[in-house]
Amino acid sequence: MELKTRTMLDRSFTAVGILAIVLMALSLVVLLQPIFVRGAGAFVFRGTIEYRELRLELFGRGDAAKVKAEAALAEEARGPVYEMMEAFEDELGEMEPALRRELRGEYREVKDLIGDLLGPRPGESRPALIRGQFGRTRWDRTQATLHHILYREEYDHSDQSRMGVKILKPRSEIFAGTALEPLFGRLEADIERIMRPRWTVYWRFLFDESYDAHFFGGIWPEMLGTFYLAFGAMLFAVPLGIITAVYLAEYAGESGFVSLLRTCISSLAGVPSIVFGLFGLAFFINTVGVSSGKSVLAGSMTLALLVLPTVIRASEEAVLAVPRTYKEAAMSLGAGKWHTIVSVILPAAMPGILTSIIISLGRAAGETAPIIFTAAVSVGRPIAFWQALGQPSPALPWNIYNLATEHEAVDEIRHVQYGMVLTLVVMVLLLNLTAIIVRARISKKLRG
């Protein structure tokens, strides 16, 4: 090959490599940017006066006198809104029946939305669910609700060949000429005085219990559950994995049975995680009966099975990568096989083994399918360490899925979902970072 061609090939190869890396970096940014930006909304947001009242009542945090004073100011600003509603209710009674029938339904909708926005009026009976006891606590939700109050969504189906077209109809037009007409303009103009938004940092999102199906509070039960499940899985997977790896690398030899065993372990790594989940339910809970129903213990065992092939393969590689000369040196000094493994081979293989453990830890923390049937519940209180044996617990991956698919009012609490996603992603990233640092440190120590 000519020098020119070779140079050209070299250059184009370098260019393709750089392009690939840039594309990967870009896709990573595209992926992580919304997670970080939207997830941050769970921790830093504009909280309304309702948020501060709730915080005072549920958690006892904040300056009670200040909140009371602020609430009084907000109440003052809300006064005209309530007055207009009362005036309209009086007016409604004197309307001609046809118009009254039409406007009564419309008004009921508006009244409910204003109830969502502002919460129950002082002195009104309080609903049982916490979500009904307060108005909108977050400024973004406040604006969304305000938009619903100001405009009615309608769909124009006149053109049959197309899907319905969404039309926003201002409610001030619907109520034109009534006592309610000025309410909408007033609400829009005064919304800041009515809700009093203020930038709030809620780092306790991580450590608060959740209330009313995640409407309020934090994600501590989920964090704790994830922690128990991931470390519990390691409790089973690590000893079993290392012993198996050492057996395969040092004792097993090369019989047909052993290669069959190796193939089985490799195939196990490719089994879909939902299958592990069903197996965990069928075996650990129904057959062995480690717990009467879902429990963190059963979930940990299932996750351990899931990560076991990874731990075994990586640890075996690490053990095989230890220079034979170490083994020879130990044996020439009179060390037996077991002694050689414990005192020389395992320490030298430690960086590889640790890396596999920490990466498996990240995997176990993030897996959803294996814990659906074995360990996770959608709502629960944080459980103590010893309760993990017999009790289920919420866990981040499962609750993210649950909020996204099954929660009855997910639109109102998207920030919680994103907050959970961010927390999980950061947890796994931190674990991997730890793996890198630990590995570098131990390798450095081993290299001298």
152: enclosing H helix or E strand: strand 151-156
In eight-state DSSP terms, residue 393 is B
Per CB under 8 A, contacts with other proteins among 336-365 are 336, 339, 343-344, 347-348
Q: Which of 96, 334, 408, 411 is the binder for other proteins (CB under 8 A)?
A: 334
Number of residues that bind other proteins (CB under 8 A): 21
Task: Pick between residue 121 and residue 339 the one whose CB is nearest to other proteins.
Answer: 339
**Angle in degrees, 0-180, between the axes of helices 220-246 and 414-447, rounded to the nearest 10:** 30
To other proteins, the closest distance from the beta carbon of 352 in angstroms equals 13
To other proteins, the closest distance from the beta carbon of 331 in angstroms equals 7
- 144-150's contacts with Cβ under 8 Å and 24+ in sequence apart are 145/113, 145/116, 145/117, 146/117, 146/187, 146/188, 146/191, 148/113, 149/110, 149/113, 149/114, 149/117, 149/184, 149/187, 150/184, 150/187, 150/188
Kindly compute the dihedral angle of the four CA atoms of residues 347, 349, 353, 354, in this order, to the nearest 10 degrees. Answer: 50
Binding status of residue 66 toward other proteins by CB under 8 A: no
Binding status of residue 34 toward other proteins by CB under 8 A: no
Strand extents, DSSP E, 281-343:
none
Residue 132's alpha-carbon distances to 68, 86, 216, 362, in angstroms, are: 20, 21, 12, 38
To other proteins, the closest distance from the beta carbon of 324 in angstroms equals 9
Binding status of residue 438 toward other proteins by CB under 8 A: no
Q: How far from chain centre, in Å, is Cα 317? A: 34
To other proteins, the closest distance from the beta carbon of 333 in angstroms equals 4
Task: Pick between residue 249 and residue 296 the one whose CB is nearest to other proteins.
Answer: 249
Candidates 95-103, 147-155, 161-169, 327-335: pick the segment binding other proteins (CB under 8 A). 327-335
Binding status of residue 132 toward other proteins by CB under 8 A: no
- Quick check: 205 and 43 in contact, CB under 8 A? yes
Candidates 133-141, 283-291, 330-338, 393-401: pick the segment binding other proteins (CB under 8 A). 330-338
Task: Pick between residue 54 and residue 322 the one whose CB is nearest to other proteins.
Answer: 322
Candidates 265-273, 293-301, 333-341, 417-425: pick the segment binding other proteins (CB under 8 A). 333-341
Query: Pairing state of beta strands 210-211 and 151-156?
Result: unpaired
Binding status of residue 447 toward other proteins by CB under 8 A: yes
Q: Phi and psi (nearest 5°) for 45?
A: -160, 175
Positions that interact with other proteins (CB under 8 A): 323, 325-326, 328-336, 339, 343-344, 347-348, 445-448
